[in-house]
Structures are given as C-alpha cells and as structure tokens.
Amino acid sequence: MTTATPATERLYQSGFGNEYASEAVAGALPQGRNNPQRAPFDLYTELLSGTAFTAPRRENRRTWLYRRQPSVVSGRYQQYAQAHWTTGADREIALPPEPLRWNPLPLDGAAEADFIDGMHTIAANGDAEAQVGIGSLMYLAGRSMERRAFVNADGEMLVVPQQGRLVITTELGVLDVKPGEIALLPRGMAFKVALPDGLSRGYVCENYGAHFRLPELGPIGSNGLANARDFQAPVAAFEDGGGAYELVKKFGGRFWKAPAKQSPFNVVAWHGNLAPVKYDTANFMVIGSISFDHPDPSIFTVLTSPTDTPGTANCDFVIFPPRWMVMENTFRPPWFHRNLMSEFMGLVLGEYDAKPGGFKPGGASLHNCMVPHGPDEEAFDKAAHSDLKPHKLDNTLAFMFESRLRFIPTNFALQSPALDTDYADCWAGLQDQFKP
Ligand SMILES: [Fe+2]
C-alpha cells in the first residue's frame, strides 16, 4: 500500500460530507475539469454516485476516481455462499411481541472467518430493493481479508467495532478503526478488512435507505453532538503490484464472486463528497439534563438516515457515552416506555445504566414497536432510593439503531444459544407499591 505516512501515523482529511480532494502521487488529480481527454499519468476517470444525479444539492453525494483500471474490468460472477447474512424483513418468521436479549455471541469457531464470511444478521426490517430499512448485524471474525475485496450494492455500512481493531482498506484510502470509534462505508465502494488483533467482534448497521447524515441541531445551535470536523476521511492510497484478487459482491440480497486480475484498490487520486469516514465517539459533545427529568434519547443522535416523514427516521444511530448525571428529584435512568420506533441496542464496553447486570459488552437487545421495556428491578430500586449526588457514568458505551420499521430477528438469532430466554424475568419482581 502506498501511503504518505506509515500506518501508525495515518493521515486523514477532516469533515463530514466535505468536498474532499486527495492524491497519492503529486499531479494525479486533474485541475479545472473532472474528465479531461486524457487524465494525468493516463489514469482512467470514473464517477461513483451515491445519490441520484438530481438529488438536492445538500444531499447529493458523488466522488470522481482516477485509477489504474476502471472497476468495470472484472471476471464473470458466480454465486457465493453466505448463509448468515440475510437482507430485509423475513415475514415467514413469527416475531414474538416480547423484549429480546442476546448474551455476547461467542467467538468460538470464528478464527477462520473473515469480516465478510463472519457476518451474521441478528434482525432486519424493510426491503433493500425498495431502499427502505436496515439490517442489524454482528461480525465474528478472526482472519484478515488479504487479496479479497467486498462491494455492498444493497446499502452503506455503519461499523461499530466491539472487540479488536479494524484496518479498513477502501478505494479511497485506509481507515484504522478501534473499539469506541465507528466507520461509515458508502454503498458500492470496494473495501477489505484486516484484523490486527485476531479474533474480532462488532456490530454493523446495513442501511438500505437514505444515507446517514448529521442530525439537525434545532435550538441546540451550531455546535454540539457530533461535530462535522471530527469525522475523518482517508487520504488517497493505492496498492502496488499485480496479482489476482477475488471480488465478493452483495447485490439484491444475494452474494456473488468474481476473479479480478488486479487489486480494486488502484485509485491514485480522487475528489468528491462521497467518502468513507471514521469517527471517535469520545468526541461526541453530550447534551443532557442539568435541572430535572430524563430527556429523550434523541439528544444522543450521532447520525440519522431520514425517511420522507419528517422526524421519523429510517435509522437513528444513537450512543450512550460517558456523561455526568446531575438531575435533581428525578428518576435518572430511562423511564418505562413503549415506542412507535423499534430499538436494537448493543454494548461496546462497560455497563448500561438501565440494565447494570444482564446486558453485556458484545450482547444485544431488541425492543420492537410498542413492546414495553425499561429499567430492570435492580436499576429501578437503586434509582428510586439512592441519594441524588452528581454522579459520572464512566467507562461505558452503549448504542442504538432505532428505526421506524419493526425488526424481525433471524432464525440464526432466535435459535442461538446466546438468546437470553429469561430476559423478561428481569422485570418480574416489580411489585405493586401503591400506597394511597
Ligand atoms: Fe427504549
């Protein structure tokens, strides 16, 4: 890989949705026009459009690539087996109207799987063909992708590592991502993932709908939550030397593979606003209650994928990072509730304040549309009786993929030994305490 710096001090470009420009070889980026008769150094020009040509300017995403071979050069595709990565809502599966929870999915047997073969859909909604909905997935992997690349034509991928660092090589350059950070990989852009720490586990939101963007801030103002400057796009980098590659493509919910004579990571220069990015959740500026009451979790939204209905998201990516709790005369954990929106949660590290015992890092929970949930018996008892001094929730990172569409768990998830069949018992001890 040709890069301007060693991997330990990787260079990035700052911002979200910026008009970035980068060249791995000086002079490779054409100036003044996107598509000169002959591009510098006889590179091929290729446009990757992440939105319709005519999408409104503020939503429009596209990037010009200057590369050694255009991506149209590949061998013939044949079907590829990936049984655990399913797409969209499977309405054949009986969806229980109950809260569901999974213990951490074990990494036993994952040593030989790479990031693609180790992907498991836990629950999904919508329909990739209709460009609606998301999949909530987990990867359980131990092997780096070497001369193998993946293209997802069905959606962009939001990657939330929980155990193990990821080195994500993309057509536009390389991202180093560690637990606590997230990566957003555009639909249709080739990438591969190396696992420098060996066995690795994490969560993925496969977003079939409108691409993720920063939420509006309303009365919060022009600063706060995730700031655009803290997102990092790679600088241009390309692989030297030939040698065969295998391309794996997800296309319409099915998997395909084709041989390639050359690495797809052959982009020498690029410019545009469709780029993979990473973000460190430690840079999230938390807004919270400083008087009383527990605000809606929407104040923790990092990124949102909107629908045509204002304020009703295809997916909100929400985090629960370290923060101070100072509210007075208030039940501080989340209240008991039922919600139109459906909530898939994961835990990267530490504990979650509404479930101090049973929700473990690497686990997951699912509270679907109108399924009641809330603090468990232990959390309720503590929050109702403790002395409300300022208290820091520290060393914790939970997150939520929240969607307007109900998630249907996969057969894999419902039959997994990791499914916590006693989950609902955590509320069984909540007694009628009415004292008129
Ligand atoms: Fe909830």
Residue 347, in any domain of the structure: yes
Q: Domain of residue 119: give its range.
A: 75-264+276-281
Same domain, 321 and 373: yes
Identify the sign of the CA torsion 204, 164, 14, 188.
negative
DSSP class per residue in 336-378: PB--SSEEEEEEEES-BTTBTTT--TT-EEEE-TT--B---HH
**Residue 242's pLDDT band (cuts 50, 70, 90):** confident
Q: In angstroms, what is the span from residue 435 Cα to ligand 1's centroid?
A: 28
Q: Which of 256, 281, 306 corresponds to the end of one domain?
A: 281
Instruction: Check residue 237 and give its pLDDT.
Output: 97
pLDDT of residue 364 exceeding 90? yes
Strands 20-23 and 12-14, sheet pairing: unpaired
Token pair, residue 98, equals 């109950």
Rounded mean pLDDT, 279-293: 97
Rounded mean pLDDT, 15-26: 96
Instruction: Check residue 24 and give its pLDDT.
Output: 97
Same domain, 185 and 332: no
Looking up residue 389, the CATH number of its domain turns out to be 2.60.120.10
Q: In angstroms, what is the span from residue 400 Cα to ligand 1's centroid?
A: 9
Domain count, the chain: 2
Q: Which of 281, 315, 339 corresponds to the end of one domain?
A: 281
Q: In the 8-state DSSP scheme, what is residue 128? A: G
Same domain, 352 and 396: yes
Q: In angstroms, what is the span from residue 116 Cα to ligand 1's centroid?
A: 30
C-alpha to C-alpha distance for 114 and 129, rounded to whole angstroms: 26
**Residue 240's pLDDT band (cuts 50, 70, 90):** confident
Q: How far is CA 303 from CA 137, 231, 257, 380, in A?
A: 18, 11, 32, 30
Is residue 326 within 8 Å of 286, Cβ to Cβ?
no
Instruction: Check residue 352 and give its pLDDT.
Output: 78
Residue 207, in any domain of the structure: yes
Residue 100, in any domain of the structure: yes
Instruction: Check residue 3 and give its pLDDT.
Output: 47
**Residue 2's pLDDT band (cuts 50, 70, 90):** very low
Residue 31, in any domain of the structure: no
Q: In angstroms, what is the span from residue 119 Cα to ligand 1's centroid?
A: 26
Same domain, 170 and 120: yes
Rounded mean pLDDT, 343-355: 88
Looking at every residue in the chain, the average pLDDT score rounds to 95
C-alpha closest to that of 368 among 320, 310, 411, 409: 409
Token pair, residue 108, equals 């036993």
Q: In angstroms, what is the span from residue 255 Cα to ligand 1's centroid?
A: 34
Same domain, 88 and 217: yes
Q: In angstroms, what is the span from residue 346 Cα to ligand 1's centroid?
A: 12
Is residue 342 within 8 Å of 125, Cβ to Cβ?
yes
Same domain, 203 and 348: no
Q: What is the pTM assigned to this prediction?
A: 0.96
Token pair, residue 207, equals 């977003």
Q: Which residues neighbour 87 within 8 Å (Cβ) at sequence distance 6 or greater? A: 121, 124, 128, 135, 154, 206, 208, 250, 253
Instruction: Check residue 285 and give its pLDDT.
Output: 98
C-alpha to C-alpha distance for 378 and 425, rounded to whole angstroms: 12
**Residue 8's pLDDT band (cuts 50, 70, 90):** low
Q: In angstroms, what is the span from residue 402 Cα to ligand 1's centroid?
A: 9
Same domain, 248 and 122: yes
Residue 38, in any domain of the structure: no
Residue 35, in any domain of the structure: no
Name beta bridge partners: 239.
none
Residue 8, in any domain of the structure: no
Q: How far is CA 260 from CA 43, 248, 326, in A?
A: 18, 10, 58
Active site residues: 294
Q: Collapsing DSSP states into helix, strand and coil, what is residue 422? A: coil
Q: Collapsing DSSP states into helix, strand and coil, what is residue 106? A: coil
Residue 413, in any domain of the structure: yes
Same domain, 313 and 258: no
Q: In angstroms, what is the span from residue 428 Cα to ligand 1's centroid?
A: 18
